[in-house]
Amino acid sequence: MNINTLEKEIIQCRMCERLVRFREKIAKEKRKSYLHWEYWGKPVPGYGNQYAKIMILGLAPAAHGGNRTGRVFTGDKSAEFLFKCLYQVGFANQPNSDFRDDGLEIDGYITAAVKCVPPGDKPTAEEKNNCESFLIKEFQSLKKLKIVVGLGKIGFDSCLKFIRKTYPIKMKDYKFGHGVRYVMPNDLILYGAFHPSPRNVNTGKLNFDMMVQFFNKIKSEIN
Ligand code: SF4
């Protein structure tokens, strides 16, 4: 399936009642500093290149980031950090990701395991399962995919669950950590990386040099 067709399908989804209510509530109430914004308030599809060799896979859109702007990793602190790193390495054409149609182009594909913002950034197991079918379609659409970066443990585990559908792998054999690398039975390479959340960045768990070094390693593996 073409990713543009898939995007249209995702945007219309209303399967998880709790998340539909939550995403629309946030879009209506807004954050004070964004009162002038018309919030997106719908599922946030992945974006990037149909022929991507690398997928960056996070957890879910942020309440006032992706849920506001309509593009994942766009318009919040995590996006600010991530795109400075991706630009430095040459995976993005600009160091900022502010809103849809801001001119951003990425050499890859970026998405989230759950396409709607969950309360407290915690989707239920049922919601993760509901949204899994979209992630599977994304995997199936990206025919040139070689590397998946699980940004945070849920992104990492979501890739493992996808693989587990076809191959008898055991989740416990794949430990999440920053920089861990596994070759999966279908030859896909799975990396783990700390999520570029303000909490991880402000506490020094993750910094710019670490993330640039990480993506540079991946870049050398792709080329
Ligand atoms: S989380 Fe996924 S399955 Fe649930 S409503 Fe949003 S797009 Fe649909």
pLDDT tens for each residue of 99-131: 999 999 999 999 999 999 999 999 999 999 999
Angle at 106 between CA 101 and CA 109, to 5 degrees: 105
The answer, yes or no, to whether residue 43 has pLDDT greater than 90, is: yes
Q: Is the per-residue pLDDT at 7 higher than 90?
A: yes
**What is the average pLDDT across 65-83?**
97
The per-residue pLDDT for 1 is 82
Q: Can you give the residue ranges of every domain in the chain?
A: 3-222
Cα–Cα distance between 221 and 16 in angstroms, integer? 38
Q: Ligand 1 pocket, 19 CB below 6 A?
A: yes
> How far, in Å, from the CA of 124 to the mean position of ligand 1?
11
**Residue of 12, 14, 16 with the most ligand 1 atoms within 8 Å of its CB, for mutation:** 16
181, two tokens: 């690398």
Residue range 194-218: average pLDDT?
A: 97
Share of the chain above pLDDT 90, in %: 98
Q: Is 130 in the pocket of ligand 1 (CB under 6 A)?
A: yes
Neighbours of 219 (CB within 10 A): 16
Q: In angstroms, rounded to a whole number, what is the distance separating the alpha carbons of residues 90 and 52?
A: 14
Tell me what the mean pLDDT of segment 181-189 comes to: 97
Q: Is the CB of 135 under 6 A from ligand 1?
A: no
Mean pLDDT score across all residues of the chain = 97
Of the chain, the end-to-end C-alpha distance in Å amounts to 26
Beta carbon of 188 within 6 Å of any ligand 1 atom: no
Per-residue pLDDT at 223 exceeds 80: no
Q: What is the pTM of this model?
A: 0.96
60 lines ligand 1 (CB under 6 A): no
Is the distance from the beta carbon of residue 157 to the nearest atom of ligand 1 less than 6 Å? no
Candidate from 20, 72, 115 with most ligand 1 atoms within 8 A of CB, to mutate: 115
Average pLDDT (167-180) is 97
Specify burial of residue 172 (Cβ count, 10 A radius: 0-12, 13-18, 19+). Answer: exposed
CA–CA gap between residue 132 and residue 150 (Å, rounded): 15
pLDDT score, position 32: 95
Q: What is the pLDDT at residue 57? A: 98
- Please give the CATH architecture assigned to the domain spanning 3-222: 3-Layer(aba) Sandwich (3.40)
Q: Which atom of ligand 1 is nearest to the CA of 118?
A: 1
What pLDDT sits at residue 46?
A: 97
